[in-house]
Structure 1
Amino acid sequence: MLKHTFCHVPGIGLKTERRLWDNGVLDWDSPLGHVRLKRASAEAIRTLLDTSREKLALGEPAFFSELLPPKESWRIFPDFRDSIAYIDIETNGYMGPYGYITAISLYDGKRIRYYVKGENLDDFMEDIMEYKVLVTYNGKCFDIPFIESHLGIKLPHAHIDLLYVLRDLGFRGGLKGCEKMIGIDRGGLDGVDGYFAVLLWKEYRKSRNPKVMETLLAYNIQDVVNLEPLMVTAHNMKLEQTPFCQGYRIELPAPPLELPFKPDLETIQKIRARGYSAHA
């Protein structure tokens, strides 16, 4: 889809891009001579498109991520699907100097990795550099800056934040609400949210009960595993708004056959019995 994209060119918005498509300018190799553009010169467009070809050939998606509107970042997905990391973090519930990461989960469509404070959290810094694109939900405002600040690293990756893509498609209700809109059932984790994950961490620090940590990781891993079908769904729905829906549609992926952890229902019930109510 990237080679059909023009809205990353300064001066070309979505309406102008649509006009280009309607006038037969369907990809970077199409001649521009017969289309008049008010805010971008043909020479400037050709220069940017030459650079785009080069960056795509070199496998550098961050170039496009920096130029595309956040709601159009989905266009990066098909060309770089083999180098995507779906990530999500859990924290102790605080921001600033008192906040810290309790767990990170990473899923690349095949392999699940997880990182826990006090165990292997630093391994994330090396592992994440194996990928070129990060997919998150609300990661632009939360996960990415939190990781960079508290782990002291810079994530140079291209970034697809599904919050913006899905919101533009009419999805609402946070990550869990979006999941429900496409029929994802969390089973025993239904009703568990980020605040509940904070309570799980506090309970684990107090009890050191491994079942509590397993429940926290089961929740965190479910978040990243569910990002993949949301990404594919968003891609296909966005594609329907273009002239290219026939050639680029992607089948929904099968979920992992087995997840490394299962939630402990007794632990969940115990915390709920203390008066917890889901923060929807």
Structure 2
Amino acid sequence: MNNIITKPDFTKLELILPGEVVQAGKGEFYLIRQDIEKLCYDAENLMRKYQDIFNLSIDHSRLNNDFRSLLTVDPKEIVFLDIETTGLSNTPLFLIGLLYFDDDNLVIEQLFARDYSEEEHLLHYFSEFVPKFNVLVTFNGKSFDIPFIRDRMIFHRKFANWKYTHVDILLHSRRRWRGVLPDCRLQTLEYYICQRRRLDDVPSALVPEIYHDFVRNGNPEYLLGVFHHNALDLITLFELTCALIIMELD
């Protein structure tokens, strides 16, 4: 009897979403890496705004602890994170999006489990990658993203003792804009603070089914929208962080 397990053909995925297969732990997953300029027309201005903040002469004692942590480390020590999952709890995680400075460029890395078995290996890579950074920035990550990742790691019998400062931008957005804006959802803030609106965005409620369909039939056509959605969430998170720091300095 042939007990060899073969991987599905991911040729279509590689054509639509060019990336690389990464070995991690005892298996592999798919990694897509892009410069932010390819995803955001205003990327150069965004990077300049962030770098200008670092060049200001600032009395750090005036700042909230979270913002102080963002301004007293090298920008290369900061990573922004957003995840895509198949449910709210006890379900597989399939995409971890990361945004960080690589030299003078902002890059987005998206770690993707091409099937359910690759989640374990994606998490193995992530658990070894995160300690390179001293500050983690999320949107609702203290309540959702990080607890979700930890739960999935425990499911796969993986444990991590990460040491970083966690800045949750949702908490600061609520402090700044609750009662001023209709709500503090990420895309509401994107519209009112970043002054842009998404067109043809994939609704979050459809993301799990799009992934399940891909695992079943291997057709990556609709996945492109999920990756774009995740990348835009990261860019908006980055821009909101800049906006909040500037307001904190006023």
Q: Which amino acid is the alignment partner of residue 77 of structure 1?
A: L
Shift of 1:177: 0.9
Shift of 1:87: 0.4
Q: In structure 1, how many angstroms separate the alpha carbons of the residues matched to 2:200 and 2:147?
A: 30
Shift of 1:180: 0.9
Q: 1:269 aligns to what?
A: none
Alignment of 1:79-228 (within 5 A): 79-80=72-73, 81-96=75-90, 99-109=91-101, 110-117=106-113, 118=115, 119=118, 121=122, 122-151=124-153, 152=158, 153-171=160-178, 172-182=183-193, 183-189=195-201, 192-228=202-238
Return 5+ residue gaps in structure 1 as ranges. 8-67, 241-280
Deviations for 1:110-134, whole angstroms, at most 9, x for unmatched residues? Answer: 1211111245613222222221111
Q: In structure 2, how many angstroms separate the alpha carbons of the residues matched to 1:173 and 1:201?
A: 27
Shift of 1:200: 1.8
Shift of 1:165: 0.6
Q: In structure 2, how many angstroms separate the alpha carbons of the residues matched to 1:147 and 1:218?
A: 21
Shift of 1:155: 2.9
Return 5+ residue gaps in structure 2 as ranges. 1-57
Q: 2:21 aligns to what?
A: none
Relative to its length, the structure with more strand (as a share) is 2
Checking the alignment, whether the CA contact within 8 Å between 1:136 and 1:162 is kept in structure 2 is: yes
Shift of 1:168: 0.7
Deviations for 1:157-185, whole angstroms, at most 9, x for unmatched residues? Answer: 11110011111111523111111112133
Q: 2:67 aligns to what?
A: 74
Structure 1 residues 2, 210: closer, same or farther in 2, change over 3 A? farther
Return the index of the structure with the highest Cα Rg.
Answer: 1
SS in 1 for 2:200: helix
Q: Which amino acid is the alignment partner of residue 78 of structure 2?
A: I
Checking the alignment, whether the CA contact within 8 Å between 1:75 and 1:235 is kept in structure 2 is: no
Deviations for 1:57-106, whole angstroms, at most 9, x for unmatched residues? Answer: xxxxxxxxxxx4xxxx223222223311110111111413xx12111000
Shift of 1:197: 1.7
Checking the alignment, whether the CA contact within 8 Å between 1:88 and 1:105 is kept in structure 2 is: yes
Checking the alignment, whether the CA contact within 8 Å between 1:2 and 1:76 is kept in structure 2 is: no
Shift of 1:230: 0.6
Q: In structure 2, how many angstroms separate the alpha carbons of the residues matched to 1:168 and 1:149?
A: 28
| 2:61 is the alignment partner of 1:4 | yes
Identity of aligned residues (%): 26
Cα RMSD (Å): 2.2
Q: In structure 2, how many angstroms separate the alpha carbons of the residues matched to 1:184 and 1:133?
A: 27
Q: In structure 1, how many angstroms separate the alpha carbons of the residues matched to 2:98 and 2:197?
A: 20
Q: TM (normalized to structure 2)?
A: 0.62
Paired residues in the alignment total 172
Q: In structure 1, how many angstroms separate the alpha carbons of the residues matched to 2:88 and 2:169?
A: 24
SS in 2 for 1:95: coil
